[in-house]
């Protein structure tokens, strides 16, 4: 008979931040061509999962993993308008790690409504020249909902210290994206230009709320107007155009943004 295998003993945990409940030692990732120190991962398994996701993001092989991620994206897309928040957020963040561009455009909308300052960085890379997207962007959604939000962010940016995503797309976006940016700039420069808040019924209700009340007093009316909102496509999860007008944007605090996302929409 062969001798029984020895069972590995649980290691002594050598550093703060490692938990006795962990199965693995912490792992560190270091690349000589990066001008940064080693990146710590909570475990070797965590490191390998990240490398696995990175491989799929770069090479995008036709595989079971890719199908699984796209299925998760579709489930998140359906769950979000039903009022779920944290589950879709987690699923979309994971799919972004695997290079699924559709997840980026969906995640941007949720994070923007929750007040994440770097939400727009989610979609910048997928719209740049030279990038081969894993999903064809919805040009109508980009033009009517996404670009107005990016332009409003551009206007708030201190360009002495940082560049905006909108400006970056104007310079380095793909040809279709740069045309959309140029078209939006031309429309925005026209006298009497106003941001549209989505479908006509919702747009009318929002403008009525703003006309009836000033400042924070308009929030209850704006909240009531949300029953009129309708998505313009399957990938339109939230009324992000509210963030493109300073009058409505100042009303959408992170807490109120979460309240909106918790509603059944559309």
pLDDT score, position 206: 98
Q: What Å distances lie between residue 90 and 80, 84, 178, 184, CA to CA?
A: 12, 11, 31, 32
92 CB-side CA count, 13 A: 29
Classified as helix, coil or strand, 251 is coil
pLDDT score, position 7: 39
Estimate to the nearest angstrom the gap between the alpha carbon of 224 and the chain centroid. Answer: 26
Beta strands in 97-237 (DSSP E): none
What residue spans define the domains of the chain? 60-261
pLDDT score, position 184: 96
What DSSP state is assigned to residue 52?
H
Estimate to the nearest angstrom the gap between the alpha carbon of 5 and the chain centroid. Answer: 48
pLDDT score, position 173: 94
Average pLDDT across each block of 10 residues of the chain; the chain has 266 residues. List them in order: 42 44 70 79 75 66 82 97 98 93 96 94 88 85 97 84 87 95 96 96 97 90 97 97 97 98 96
pLDDT score, position 1: 46
* Phi, psi (degrees; rounded to nearest 5) at 118: -100, 20
| Residue in the block written with tokens 């999860």 | 237
pLDDT score, position 17: 47
pLDDT score, position 57: 63
């Amino acid at each position: 008979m062969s001798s029984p295998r020895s069972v590995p003993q649980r290691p002594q945990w050598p550093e703060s931040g490692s938990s006795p409940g962990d199965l693995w030692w912490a792992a560190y990732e270091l690349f000589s061509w990066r001008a940064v120190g080693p990146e710590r991962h909570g475990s070797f398994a965590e490191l390998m999962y990240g490398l696995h996701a990175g491989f799929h993001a770069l090479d995008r092989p036709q595989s079971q993993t890719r199908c699984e991620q796209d299925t998760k994206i579709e489930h998140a897309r359906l769950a979000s308008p039903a009022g779920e928040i944290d589950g879709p957020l987690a699923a979309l963040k994971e799919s972004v790690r695997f290079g699924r561009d559709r997840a980026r455009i969906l995640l941007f909308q949720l994070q923007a409504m929750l007040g994440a300052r770097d939400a727009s960085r989610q979609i910048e890379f997928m719209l740049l020249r030279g990038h081969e997207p894993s999903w064809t962007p919805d040009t109508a959604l980009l033009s009517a909902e996404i670009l107005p939000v990016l332009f409003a962010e551009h206007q708030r940016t201190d360009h002495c210290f940082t560049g905006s995503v909108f400006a970056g797309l104007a310079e380095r976006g793909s040809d279709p994206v740069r045309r959309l940016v140029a078209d939006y700039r031309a429309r925005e420069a026209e006298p009497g230009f106003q941001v549209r808040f989505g479908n006509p019924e919702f747009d009318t209700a929002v403008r009525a709320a703003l006309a009836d009340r000033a400042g924070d007093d308009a929030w209850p009316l704006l909240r009531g107007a949300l029953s009129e909102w309708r998505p313009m496509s399957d990938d339109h999860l939230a009324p992000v155009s509210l963030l493109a007008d300073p009058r409505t944007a100042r009303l959408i605090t992170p807490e109120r943004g979460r309240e909106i996302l918790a509603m059944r929409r559309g």
